[in-house]
Structure 1
Amino acid sequence: MPDTMSSEAAQALMPALREAVREAASLALPHFRSGEQTRARIWSKAGGSPVTEADVAVDAFLKVRLSQIVPAAAWLSEETRDDPVRLRSGLVWIVDPIDGTRAFLSGHPDWSIAVGLLSAGQPVIGIVHAPASGHFYEAVAGCGSRRDEAPIRVSDRAALPGARVTGPKPMIERLTRGLTREGADPDFVRIDRVPSLALRVARVAEGSIDVGLVSSDARDWDLAAADLILREAGGSVCDLAGRRTIYNRENPVHGELVAVPDGLLVPVVAALTA
Protein backbone atom coordinates (compact mmCIF):
# COMPACT_ATOMS: atom_id res chain seq x y z
CA MET A 1 0.00 0.00 0.00
CA PRO A 2 1.39 3.51 -0.84
CA ASP A 3 2.46 5.94 1.85
CA THR A 4 -0.42 8.34 1.09
CA MET A 5 -4.13 7.60 0.79
CA SER A 6 -6.95 8.99 -1.32
CA SER A 7 -10.43 9.60 0.05
CA GLU A 8 -11.70 6.74 -2.11
CA ALA A 9 -9.19 4.32 -0.60
CA ALA A 10 -10.01 5.59 2.89
CA GLN A 11 -13.73 5.10 2.31
CA ALA A 12 -13.09 1.48 1.32
CA LEU A 13 -11.47 0.84 4.71
CA MET A 14 -14.41 2.06 6.78
CA PRO A 15 -16.32 -1.23 7.21
CA ALA A 16 -13.23 -2.94 8.63
CA LEU A 17 -12.45 0.05 10.83
CA ARG A 18 -15.98 0.25 12.24
CA GLU A 19 -15.78 -3.43 13.14
CA ALA A 20 -12.38 -2.98 14.78
CA VAL A 21 -13.50 -0.02 16.88
CA ARG A 22 -16.69 -1.74 18.00
CA GLU A 23 -14.70 -4.84 18.94
CA ALA A 24 -12.29 -2.64 20.89
CA ALA A 25 -15.27 -1.14 22.74
CA SER A 26 -16.34 -4.64 23.74
CA LEU A 27 -13.03 -5.00 25.59
CA ALA A 28 -13.60 -1.80 27.58
CA LEU A 29 -17.31 -2.00 28.37
CA PRO A 30 -17.12 -4.90 30.87
CA HIS A 31 -14.91 -2.67 33.05
CA PHE A 32 -17.28 0.33 32.88
CA ARG A 33 -19.91 0.69 35.62
CA SER A 34 -22.39 3.48 34.93
CA GLY A 35 -22.55 5.87 37.89
CA GLU A 36 -20.05 3.80 39.88
CA GLN A 37 -16.32 3.41 40.24
CA THR A 38 -14.72 0.90 37.88
CA ARG A 39 -13.35 -2.35 39.22
CA ALA A 40 -10.62 -2.36 36.59
CA ARG A 41 -7.01 -2.33 37.72
CA ILE A 42 -5.59 1.20 37.77
CA TRP A 43 -2.03 2.53 37.55
CA SER A 44 -0.59 6.04 37.63
CA LYS A 45 1.55 7.16 34.70
CA ALA A 46 4.40 9.65 34.91
CA GLY A 47 2.77 12.93 35.82
CA GLY A 48 0.04 11.22 37.83
CA SER A 49 -2.62 10.63 35.18
CA PRO A 50 -4.45 7.30 35.52
CA VAL A 51 -4.44 4.36 33.15
CA THR A 52 -6.54 1.21 33.49
CA GLU A 53 -6.31 -2.32 32.23
CA ALA A 54 -9.06 -1.36 29.78
CA ASP A 55 -6.88 1.38 28.23
CA VAL A 56 -4.05 -1.10 27.82
CA ALA A 57 -6.25 -3.84 26.34
CA VAL A 58 -7.91 -1.52 23.82
CA ASP A 59 -4.57 -0.02 22.81
CA ALA A 60 -2.94 -3.42 22.25
CA PHE A 61 -5.93 -4.70 20.29
CA LEU A 62 -6.14 -1.67 18.03
CA LYS A 63 -2.41 -1.61 17.37
CA VAL A 64 -2.59 -5.14 16.01
CA ARG A 65 -5.88 -4.74 14.13
CA LEU A 66 -5.20 -1.34 12.57
CA SER A 67 -1.70 -2.42 11.55
CA GLN A 68 -3.30 -5.30 9.69
CA ILE A 69 -5.74 -2.98 7.93
CA VAL A 70 -3.04 -0.47 6.87
CA PRO A 71 0.38 -2.14 7.29
CA ALA A 72 2.26 0.89 5.93
CA ALA A 73 0.99 3.25 8.64
CA ALA A 74 3.11 4.31 11.61
CA TRP A 75 1.60 4.58 15.08
CA LEU A 76 1.04 7.28 17.70
CA SER A 77 -1.03 6.45 20.76
CA GLU A 78 -1.44 7.68 24.30
CA GLU A 79 -0.57 4.27 25.73
CA THR A 80 2.35 3.25 23.49
CA ARG A 81 5.92 4.51 23.66
CA ASP A 82 6.45 7.06 20.90
CA ASP A 83 8.43 5.83 17.89
CA PRO A 84 10.06 8.66 15.87
CA VAL A 85 9.62 6.62 12.69
CA ARG A 86 6.17 8.24 12.52
CA LEU A 87 7.83 11.55 11.62
CA ARG A 88 9.08 10.04 8.36
CA SER A 89 5.88 8.19 7.53
CA GLY A 90 3.24 9.38 5.05
CA LEU A 91 0.54 7.39 6.87
CA VAL A 92 0.12 7.51 10.66
CA TRP A 93 -2.54 6.07 12.95
CA ILE A 94 -3.30 8.41 15.86
CA VAL A 95 -5.24 6.61 18.59
CA ASP A 96 -6.62 7.29 22.04
CA PRO A 97 -7.81 3.93 23.37
CA ILE A 98 -9.93 5.60 26.07
CA ASP A 99 -10.27 9.35 25.86
CA GLY A 100 -11.66 10.54 29.17
CA THR A 101 -10.13 7.88 31.41
CA ARG A 102 -11.23 9.69 34.58
CA ALA A 103 -14.83 9.67 33.32
CA PHE A 104 -14.47 5.95 32.59
CA LEU A 105 -13.13 5.40 36.11
CA SER A 106 -15.99 7.24 37.83
CA GLY A 107 -18.87 5.83 35.78
CA HIS A 108 -19.50 8.98 33.71
CA PRO A 109 -20.70 8.03 30.19
CA ASP A 110 -18.69 10.66 28.28
CA TRP A 111 -15.58 8.67 27.41
CA SER A 112 -14.68 7.53 23.93
CA ILE A 113 -12.39 5.57 21.65
CA ALA A 114 -10.75 7.85 19.07
CA VAL A 115 -9.04 6.61 15.90
CA GLY A 116 -7.60 8.90 13.25
CA LEU A 117 -5.47 8.21 10.17
CA LEU A 118 -3.18 10.89 8.79
CA SER A 119 -2.14 10.94 5.14
CA ALA A 120 0.68 13.35 4.24
CA GLY A 121 0.13 15.09 7.57
CA GLN A 122 -3.61 15.64 7.20
CA PRO A 123 -6.45 13.60 8.76
CA VAL A 124 -8.12 11.42 6.15
CA ILE A 125 -10.15 9.18 8.50
CA GLY A 126 -11.69 10.06 11.85
CA ILE A 127 -13.73 7.82 14.15
CA VAL A 128 -14.96 8.72 17.64
CA HIS A 129 -17.05 6.04 19.35
CA ALA A 130 -18.80 6.61 22.68
CA PRO A 131 -19.46 3.04 23.88
CA ALA A 132 -21.53 4.00 26.95
CA SER A 133 -24.10 5.85 24.83
CA GLY A 134 -23.59 3.80 21.67
CA HIS A 135 -22.99 6.85 19.48
CA PHE A 136 -20.57 6.47 16.59
CA TYR A 137 -19.12 9.53 14.85
CA GLU A 138 -17.09 9.19 11.68
CA ALA A 139 -15.68 11.11 8.73
CA VAL A 140 -13.60 10.51 5.63
CA ALA A 141 -11.90 13.53 4.06
CA GLY A 142 -14.12 15.00 1.35
CA CYS A 143 -17.09 12.77 2.22
CA GLY A 144 -18.84 14.62 5.07
CA SER A 145 -19.43 13.59 8.68
CA ARG A 146 -21.93 11.20 10.19
CA ARG A 147 -23.28 10.18 13.57
CA ASP A 148 -24.85 6.74 13.71
CA GLU A 149 -24.98 6.73 9.88
CA ALA A 150 -26.87 10.06 9.64
CA PRO A 151 -25.16 13.18 8.20
CA ILE A 152 -24.29 15.91 10.71
CA ARG A 153 -23.49 19.62 10.40
CA VAL A 154 -22.30 22.29 12.81
CA SER A 155 -24.65 24.88 14.25
CA ASP A 156 -25.59 27.71 11.89
CA ARG A 157 -25.28 30.28 14.67
CA ALA A 158 -23.71 33.45 13.25
CA ALA A 159 -23.25 35.48 16.46
CA LEU A 160 -21.49 34.63 19.69
CA PRO A 161 -24.00 36.05 22.24
CA GLY A 162 -26.30 33.29 23.43
CA ALA A 163 -24.01 30.51 22.16
CA ARG A 164 -23.84 27.10 23.84
CA VAL A 165 -20.32 26.98 25.28
CA THR A 166 -18.34 24.28 27.06
CA GLY A 167 -14.77 23.86 28.24
CA PRO A 168 -12.49 24.91 31.09
CA LYS A 169 -13.94 27.61 33.33
CA PRO A 170 -10.99 30.05 32.97
CA MET A 171 -11.35 30.07 29.19
CA ILE A 172 -15.12 30.58 29.39
CA GLU A 173 -14.52 33.50 31.73
CA ARG A 174 -12.00 35.03 29.29
CA LEU A 175 -14.47 34.57 26.45
CA THR A 176 -17.12 36.32 28.55
CA ARG A 177 -14.85 39.23 29.46
CA GLY A 178 -13.74 39.67 25.87
CA LEU A 179 -17.27 39.85 24.55
CA THR A 180 -18.29 42.22 27.34
CA ARG A 181 -15.41 44.56 26.39
CA GLU A 182 -16.86 44.66 22.90
CA GLY A 183 -20.11 45.92 24.38
CA ALA A 184 -22.12 42.71 23.90
CA ASP A 185 -24.07 40.71 26.47
CA PRO A 186 -22.56 37.20 26.29
CA ASP A 187 -25.69 35.45 27.61
CA PHE A 188 -23.93 32.11 27.08
CA VAL A 189 -25.65 28.80 27.65
CA ARG A 190 -23.03 26.90 29.62
CA ILE A 191 -22.90 23.21 28.78
CA ASP A 192 -21.35 20.86 31.35
CA ARG A 193 -17.75 20.18 30.44
CA VAL A 194 -17.45 17.02 28.34
CA PRO A 195 -14.66 14.88 29.88
CA SER A 196 -13.65 13.29 26.57
CA LEU A 197 -12.05 15.97 24.43
CA ALA A 198 -12.75 13.96 21.28
CA LEU A 199 -16.46 13.87 22.21
CA ARG A 200 -16.44 17.59 23.00
CA VAL A 201 -15.22 18.32 19.46
CA ALA A 202 -17.62 15.78 17.92
CA ARG A 203 -20.55 17.49 19.64
CA VAL A 204 -19.56 20.77 18.04
CA ALA A 205 -19.61 18.86 14.74
CA GLU A 206 -23.14 17.59 15.36
CA GLY A 207 -24.37 21.06 16.33
CA SER A 208 -25.32 20.37 19.95
CA ILE A 209 -22.49 22.66 21.14
CA ASP A 210 -21.56 25.95 19.46
CA VAL A 211 -18.15 26.59 21.05
CA GLY A 212 -15.81 23.98 22.51
CA LEU A 213 -12.82 25.40 24.38
CA VAL A 214 -9.64 23.39 24.90
CA SER A 215 -7.00 24.23 27.51
CA SER A 216 -3.31 23.85 26.74
CA ASP A 217 -1.62 20.44 26.93
CA ALA A 218 -4.01 18.48 24.68
CA ARG A 219 -2.30 15.81 22.58
CA ASP A 220 -2.68 14.69 18.98
CA TRP A 221 -4.57 11.58 20.08
CA ASP A 222 -7.19 13.70 21.85
CA LEU A 223 -7.91 15.71 18.72
CA ALA A 224 -6.97 14.30 15.32
CA ALA A 225 -9.95 12.00 14.74
CA ALA A 226 -12.55 14.46 16.03
CA ASP A 227 -10.93 17.37 14.19
CA LEU A 228 -11.61 15.70 10.84
CA ILE A 229 -15.20 15.02 11.88
CA LEU A 230 -15.55 18.72 12.69
CA ARG A 231 -13.85 19.85 9.47
CA GLU A 232 -16.17 17.73 7.38
CA ALA A 233 -19.17 19.12 9.29
CA GLY A 234 -18.23 22.76 8.65
CA GLY A 235 -15.86 23.74 11.44
CA SER A 236 -12.33 23.22 12.70
CA VAL A 237 -10.00 23.03 15.68
CA CYS A 238 -7.79 26.12 15.67
CA ASP A 239 -5.28 27.92 17.86
CA LEU A 240 -5.85 31.45 19.15
CA ALA A 241 -4.37 32.89 15.96
CA GLY A 242 -7.08 31.12 13.97
CA ARG A 243 -4.70 28.53 12.49
CA ARG A 244 -5.82 24.95 12.00
CA THR A 245 -4.19 22.34 14.18
CA ILE A 246 -1.07 20.61 12.82
CA TYR A 247 -0.53 16.95 13.68
CA ASN A 248 2.38 14.50 13.83
CA ARG A 249 5.00 17.00 14.91
CA GLU A 250 7.97 15.90 16.99
CA ASN A 251 6.16 17.15 20.11
CA PRO A 252 2.46 16.25 19.75
CA VAL A 253 1.33 18.69 22.48
CA HIS A 254 -0.86 21.72 21.77
CA GLY A 255 -1.58 25.08 23.35
CA GLU A 256 -5.03 26.56 23.89
CA LEU A 257 -7.47 25.71 21.12
CA VAL A 258 -11.04 26.34 20.05
CA ALA A 259 -13.42 23.94 18.30
CA VAL A 260 -16.01 26.00 16.46
CA PRO A 261 -18.13 26.28 13.32
CA ASP A 262 -16.26 28.28 10.68
CA GLY A 263 -18.77 31.11 11.08
CA LEU A 264 -17.86 31.63 14.75
CA LEU A 265 -14.06 31.34 14.51
CA VAL A 266 -13.32 35.05 14.08
CA PRO A 267 -15.54 36.31 16.94
CA VAL A 268 -14.39 33.54 19.31
CA VAL A 269 -10.69 34.21 18.68
CA ALA A 270 -11.26 37.97 18.95
CA ALA A 271 -13.03 37.62 22.30
CA LEU A 272 -10.41 35.26 23.74
CA THR A 273 -7.52 37.50 22.74
CA ALA A 274 -9.13 40.86 23.51
Structure 2
Amino acid sequence: MPDPIQADFVLDLMPDLRDALREAASLALPSFRAGGHTAARIWSKAGGSPVTEADVAVDTFLKVRLGQIVPAAAWLSEETADDPVRLGHDLVWIVDPIDGTRAFLSGHPDWSIAVALLKAGEPVVGFVHAPALGQDYEAVRGRGATCNGRIIGTAPGRDLATARVTGPKPMFDRLERGVSRAGAEAAFTRVARVPSLALRVARVADGSIDVGLVSSDARDWDLAAADLILREAGGSVCDLRGVATVYNRPDPVHGELVAVGHALRDAVVSAWSRGG
Protein backbone atom coordinates (compact mmCIF):
# COMPACT_ATOMS: atom_id res chain seq x y z
CA MET A 1 0.00 0.00 0.00
CA PRO A 2 1.15 3.62 -0.43
CA ASP A 3 3.24 5.26 2.26
CA PRO A 4 0.83 7.19 4.54
CA ILE A 5 3.27 10.08 4.77
CA GLN A 6 2.76 10.68 1.05
CA ALA A 7 0.43 13.66 0.76
CA ASP A 8 -1.95 12.18 -1.80
CA PHE A 9 -2.56 9.06 0.28
CA VAL A 10 -3.20 11.00 3.48
CA LEU A 11 -5.49 13.50 1.80
CA ASP A 12 -7.46 10.63 0.28
CA LEU A 13 -8.03 9.26 3.79
CA MET A 14 -9.33 12.46 5.34
CA PRO A 15 -12.95 12.49 4.08
CA ASP A 16 -13.51 8.91 5.23
CA LEU A 17 -11.89 9.66 8.59
CA ARG A 18 -14.06 12.73 9.12
CA ASP A 19 -17.15 10.67 8.32
CA ALA A 20 -16.03 7.99 10.79
CA LEU A 21 -15.57 10.57 13.57
CA ARG A 22 -19.01 12.06 12.90
CA GLU A 23 -20.61 8.62 13.00
CA ALA A 24 -18.78 7.80 16.21
CA ALA A 25 -20.02 11.03 17.78
CA SER A 26 -23.58 10.16 16.78
CA LEU A 27 -23.29 7.00 18.88
CA ALA A 28 -22.19 8.91 21.99
CA LEU A 29 -24.21 12.13 21.87
CA PRO A 30 -27.67 10.62 22.54
CA SER A 31 -26.41 9.47 25.96
CA PHE A 32 -24.82 12.81 26.88
CA ARG A 33 -26.86 15.16 29.09
CA ALA A 34 -25.33 18.64 29.31
CA GLY A 35 -25.24 19.64 32.97
CA GLY A 36 -26.75 16.33 34.05
CA HIS A 37 -26.04 12.65 34.51
CA THR A 38 -25.56 10.50 31.40
CA ALA A 39 -28.32 8.25 30.17
CA ALA A 40 -25.75 5.54 29.38
CA ARG A 41 -25.17 2.49 31.53
CA ILE A 42 -22.00 2.78 33.65
CA TRP A 43 -19.74 0.19 35.24
CA SER A 44 -16.24 0.12 36.71
CA LYS A 45 -13.18 -1.31 35.03
CA ALA A 46 -10.34 -3.02 36.88
CA GLY A 47 -8.76 -0.29 38.96
CA GLY A 48 -12.07 1.48 39.52
CA SER A 49 -12.20 3.90 36.59
CA PRO A 50 -15.65 4.27 35.00
CA VAL A 51 -16.68 3.16 31.55
CA THR A 52 -20.03 3.67 29.84
CA GLU A 53 -21.83 1.81 27.12
CA ALA A 54 -21.10 4.82 24.90
CA ASP A 55 -17.33 4.24 25.30
CA VAL A 56 -17.77 0.65 24.22
CA ALA A 57 -20.08 1.47 21.31
CA VAL A 58 -17.69 4.10 19.92
CA ASP A 59 -14.71 1.79 20.38
CA THR A 60 -16.42 -1.11 18.62
CA PHE A 61 -17.55 1.07 15.73
CA LEU A 62 -14.16 2.70 15.20
CA LYS A 63 -12.28 -0.59 15.34
CA VAL A 64 -14.34 -1.87 12.42
CA ARG A 65 -14.52 1.40 10.48
CA LEU A 66 -10.88 2.42 10.80
CA GLY A 67 -9.86 -1.14 9.99
CA GLN A 68 -11.73 -0.77 6.72
CA ILE A 69 -10.05 2.55 5.94
CA VAL A 70 -6.48 1.33 6.60
CA PRO A 71 -6.61 -2.49 6.78
CA ALA A 72 -2.84 -2.81 7.32
CA ALA A 73 -2.92 -0.87 10.60
CA ALA A 74 -2.84 -2.57 14.01
CA TRP A 75 -4.93 -1.31 16.92
CA LEU A 76 -4.40 0.15 20.40
CA SER A 77 -7.37 1.53 22.32
CA GLU A 78 -8.39 2.27 25.88
CA GLU A 79 -11.38 -0.07 25.67
CA THR A 80 -9.81 -3.03 23.84
CA ALA A 81 -7.45 -5.60 25.33
CA ASP A 82 -3.92 -4.80 24.20
CA ASP A 83 -2.60 -7.13 21.50
CA PRO A 84 1.22 -7.11 21.33
CA VAL A 85 0.98 -7.84 17.61
CA ARG A 86 0.89 -4.03 17.24
CA LEU A 87 4.59 -3.87 18.12
CA GLY A 88 5.45 -5.59 14.85
CA HIS A 89 3.33 -3.24 12.74
CA ASP A 90 4.53 -0.12 10.99
CA LEU A 91 1.02 1.37 11.03
CA VAL A 92 -1.09 1.52 14.20
CA TRP A 93 -4.39 3.18 15.08
CA ILE A 94 -4.34 4.75 18.56
CA VAL A 95 -7.87 5.47 19.81
CA ASP A 96 -9.58 6.85 22.87
CA PRO A 97 -13.30 6.38 22.19
CA ILE A 98 -14.27 8.88 24.90
CA ASP A 99 -11.43 10.81 26.49
CA GLY A 100 -12.82 12.36 29.64
CA THR A 101 -15.39 9.69 30.52
CA ARG A 102 -16.07 11.28 33.92
CA ALA A 103 -16.90 14.57 32.17
CA PHE A 104 -19.17 12.72 29.75
CA LEU A 105 -21.09 10.94 32.50
CA SER A 106 -21.47 14.11 34.63
CA GLY A 107 -22.65 16.40 31.82
CA HIS A 108 -19.44 18.44 31.40
CA PRO A 109 -18.83 19.27 27.71
CA ASP A 110 -15.03 18.81 27.81
CA TRP A 111 -14.86 15.24 26.49
CA SER A 112 -13.55 14.12 23.15
CA ILE A 113 -12.99 11.29 20.71
CA ALA A 114 -9.26 11.02 19.92
CA VAL A 115 -7.87 9.11 16.93
CA ALA A 116 -4.28 8.95 15.67
CA LEU A 117 -2.60 6.93 12.95
CA LEU A 118 1.02 6.10 13.74
CA LYS A 119 3.80 5.19 11.35
CA ALA A 120 6.95 3.77 12.93
CA GLY A 121 5.86 5.08 16.33
CA GLU A 122 5.20 8.64 15.14
CA PRO A 123 1.72 10.12 14.63
CA VAL A 124 1.03 11.09 11.02
CA VAL A 125 -2.72 11.80 11.29
CA GLY A 126 -4.51 13.13 14.37
CA PHE A 127 -8.13 13.96 15.20
CA VAL A 128 -9.53 15.31 18.46
CA HIS A 129 -13.30 15.67 18.06
CA ALA A 130 -15.28 17.37 20.87
CA PRO A 131 -18.93 16.67 19.91
CA ALA A 132 -20.56 18.58 22.79
CA LEU A 133 -18.54 21.69 21.87
CA GLY A 134 -18.78 21.38 18.10
CA GLN A 135 -14.98 21.45 17.81
CA ASP A 136 -12.93 19.38 15.38
CA TYR A 137 -9.15 19.52 15.70
CA GLU A 138 -7.20 17.90 12.87
CA ALA A 139 -3.58 17.52 11.83
CA VAL A 140 -1.63 15.76 9.13
CA ARG A 141 2.10 15.46 9.60
CA GLY A 142 3.87 18.24 7.72
CA ARG A 143 0.64 20.00 6.74
CA GLY A 144 -0.31 22.06 9.80
CA ALA A 145 -3.17 21.87 12.27
CA THR A 146 -6.72 23.20 12.20
CA CYS A 147 -9.77 23.61 14.40
CA ASN A 148 -13.05 23.58 12.46
CA GLY A 149 -11.01 24.22 9.32
CA ARG A 150 -9.20 27.27 10.73
CA ILE A 151 -5.40 27.11 10.93
CA ILE A 152 -4.23 27.17 14.55
CA GLY A 153 -0.93 27.81 16.29
CA THR A 154 0.53 28.06 19.78
CA ALA A 155 0.55 31.44 21.52
CA PRO A 156 3.71 33.40 20.65
CA GLY A 157 5.91 35.61 22.78
CA ARG A 158 4.51 35.07 26.28
CA ASP A 159 6.83 35.08 29.31
CA LEU A 160 6.58 31.93 31.45
CA ALA A 161 6.04 34.00 34.61
CA THR A 162 2.70 35.23 33.22
CA ALA A 163 1.72 32.06 31.36
CA ARG A 164 -1.74 30.47 31.33
CA VAL A 165 -1.17 27.09 32.98
CA THR A 166 -3.42 24.11 33.63
CA GLY A 167 -2.83 20.74 35.21
CA PRO A 168 -2.47 18.96 38.56
CA LYS A 169 -1.78 21.19 41.55
CA PRO A 170 1.49 19.51 42.66
CA MET A 171 2.97 20.05 39.19
CA PHE A 172 1.60 23.58 39.03
CA ASP A 173 3.17 24.39 42.40
CA ARG A 174 6.57 22.98 41.41
CA LEU A 175 6.61 25.02 38.20
CA GLU A 176 5.64 28.13 40.16
CA ARG A 177 8.48 27.54 42.64
CA GLY A 178 10.92 27.17 39.79
CA VAL A 179 9.95 30.52 38.32
CA SER A 180 10.20 32.20 41.73
CA ARG A 181 13.63 30.71 42.46
CA ALA A 182 14.94 32.30 39.26
CA GLY A 183 14.11 35.70 40.78
CA ALA A 184 10.93 36.33 38.79
CA GLU A 185 7.48 36.92 40.25
CA ALA A 186 5.31 33.97 39.28
CA ALA A 187 2.00 35.41 38.13
CA PHE A 188 0.49 32.44 36.33
CA THR A 189 -3.09 32.50 35.19
CA ARG A 190 -4.41 29.20 36.45
CA VAL A 191 -6.75 27.70 33.87
CA ALA A 192 -9.45 25.37 35.18
CA ARG A 193 -8.67 21.69 34.77
CA VAL A 194 -9.65 20.30 31.37
CA PRO A 195 -11.12 16.81 31.97
CA SER A 196 -10.15 15.48 28.53
CA LEU A 197 -6.37 15.26 28.30
CA ALA A 198 -6.57 15.31 24.51
CA LEU A 199 -8.48 18.61 24.69
CA ARG A 200 -6.01 20.00 27.22
CA VAL A 201 -3.20 19.44 24.73
CA ALA A 202 -5.29 20.70 21.80
CA ARG A 203 -5.93 23.96 23.65
CA VAL A 204 -2.21 24.51 23.91
CA ALA A 205 -2.14 23.98 20.15
CA ASP A 206 -4.84 26.60 19.52
CA GLY A 207 -3.14 29.16 21.78
CA SER A 208 -5.79 29.35 24.51
CA ILE A 209 -3.47 27.67 27.05
CA ASP A 210 0.30 28.19 27.24
CA VAL A 211 1.36 25.24 29.40
CA GLY A 212 -0.57 21.99 29.90
CA LEU A 213 0.84 19.82 32.69
CA VAL A 214 0.21 16.07 32.54
CA SER A 215 0.57 13.83 35.59
CA SER A 216 2.16 10.41 35.30
CA ASP A 217 0.10 7.43 34.08
CA ALA A 218 -1.26 8.96 30.86
CA ARG A 219 -1.55 6.46 28.01
CA ASP A 220 -0.80 6.62 24.31
CA TRP A 221 -4.51 6.96 23.53
CA ASP A 222 -4.78 10.08 25.71
CA LEU A 223 -1.96 11.83 23.89
CA ALA A 224 -1.01 10.68 20.40
CA ALA A 225 -3.67 12.47 18.36
CA ALA A 226 -3.43 15.74 20.27
CA ASP A 227 0.38 15.58 20.28
CA LEU A 228 0.45 15.63 16.48
CA ILE A 229 -1.97 18.57 16.46
CA LEU A 230 0.35 20.40 18.87
CA ARG A 231 3.47 19.49 16.88
CA GLU A 232 1.90 20.88 13.73
CA ALA A 233 0.84 24.02 15.64
CA GLY A 234 4.34 24.76 16.92
CA GLY A 235 4.84 22.77 20.11
CA SER A 236 5.05 19.26 21.51
CA VAL A 237 4.20 16.91 24.34
CA CYS A 238 7.51 16.16 26.05
CA ASP A 239 8.89 14.97 29.36
CA LEU A 240 10.22 17.43 31.91
CA ARG A 241 13.67 17.23 30.33
CA GLY A 242 12.28 18.36 26.99
CA VAL A 243 12.41 14.92 25.33
CA ALA A 244 9.59 14.31 22.86
CA THR A 245 7.05 11.57 23.59
CA VAL A 246 7.40 8.21 21.83
CA TYR A 247 4.41 5.99 21.06
CA ASN A 248 3.63 2.31 20.47
CA ARG A 249 6.12 0.98 22.99
CA PRO A 250 5.48 -2.33 24.78
CA ASP A 251 4.13 -0.37 27.77
CA PRO A 252 2.03 2.58 26.51
CA VAL A 253 2.13 4.36 29.89
CA HIS A 254 3.95 7.69 30.34
CA GLY A 255 5.52 9.62 33.20
CA GLU A 256 5.00 13.31 33.95
CA LEU A 257 4.77 15.37 30.77
CA VAL A 258 4.17 18.90 29.60
CA ALA A 259 2.34 20.19 26.52
CA VAL A 260 3.94 23.46 25.52
CA GLY A 261 4.81 25.63 22.54
CA HIS A 262 8.42 25.68 21.37
CA ALA A 263 8.82 29.28 22.55
CA LEU A 264 8.31 28.29 26.21
CA ARG A 265 9.66 24.74 26.30
CA ASP A 266 13.20 25.56 27.51
CA ALA A 267 11.87 27.95 30.16
CA VAL A 268 9.48 25.27 31.46
CA VAL A 269 12.24 22.64 31.61
CA SER A 270 14.54 25.02 33.51
CA ALA A 271 11.83 26.09 35.94
CA TRP A 272 10.83 22.49 36.59
CA SER A 273 14.42 21.59 37.44
CA ARG A 274 14.71 24.49 39.88
CA GLY A 275 11.33 23.84 41.49
CA GLY A 276 12.07 20.32 42.73
Q: Tell me the TM-score normalised to structure 1 length.
A: 0.98
Q: Where do 1:138-149 residues align within 5 Å?
A: 138-149=138-149
Structure 1 counterpart of 2:159: 159
Structure 1 counterpart of 2:243: 243
Deviations 1:209-237 (A, max 9, x none): 00000000000000000000000000000
- Structure 2 gap ranges (5+): none
Q: Which amino acid aligns with 1:135?
A: Q
Deviations 1:161-220 (A, max 9, x none): 111100111111111011101111110011101000000000000000000000000000
Structure 2 counterpart of 1:193: 193
Q: Where do 1:116-155 residues align within 5 Å?
A: 116-155=116-155
1:269 deviation in Å? 1.2
- Structure 1 gap ranges (5+): none
1:8 deviation in Å? 3.3
Q: Which amino acid aligns with 2:170?
A: P
Structure 1 counterpart of 2:184: 184
Equivalent residue of 1:92, what SS? strand
Q: Which amino acid aligns with 1:235?
A: G
1:6 deviation in Å? 2.6
Structure 2 counterpart of 1:110: 110
For 2:12 and 2:3, locate their aligned partners in 1 and report how far apart those are by CA, in whole Å.
Answer: 16
Over the aligned positions, Cα root-mean-square deviation in angstroms equals 1.0
Equivalent residue of 2:162, what SS? coil
For 1:109 and 1:139, locate their aligned partners in 2 and report how far apart those are by CA, in whole Å.
Answer: 22
For 1:239 and 1:196, locate their aligned partners in 2 and report how far apart those are by CA, in whole Å.
Answer: 19
1:157 deviation in Å? 2.7
For 2:122 and 2:8, locate their aligned partners in 1 and report how far apart those are by CA, in whole Å.
Answer: 15
Equivalent residue of 1:9, what SS? helix
- 2:109·2:132 contact (CA, 8 Å) conserved in 1? yes
For 1:189 and 1:242, locate their aligned partners in 2 and report how far apart those are by CA, in whole Å.
Answer: 22
For 1:157 and 1:224, locate their aligned partners in 2 and report how far apart those are by CA, in whole Å.
Answer: 26
For 1:247 and 1:61, locate their aligned partners in 2 and report how far apart those are by CA, in whole Å.
Answer: 23
Structure 2 counterpart of 1:217: 217
For 1:21 and 1:54, locate their aligned partners in 2 and report how far apart those are by CA, in whole Å.
Answer: 14
Q: Which amino acid aligns with 2:252?
A: P
Q: Which amino acid aligns with 1:106?
A: S
1:110 deviation in Å? 0.1
Q: Tell me the TM-score normalised to structure 2 length.
A: 0.97
1:12 deviation in Å? 1.7
Structure 2 counterpart of 1:265: 265
Deviations 1:62-118 (A, max 9, x none): 000000000000000000000111000000000000000000010000000000000
Q: Where do 1:37-48 residues align within 5 Å?
A: 37-48=37-48
1:120 deviation in Å? 1.5
1:50 deviation in Å? 0.4
- 2:3·2:9 contact (CA, 8 Å) conserved in 1? no
Q: Which amino acid aligns with 1:49?
A: S
The sequence identity of aligned pairs, in percent, is: 72
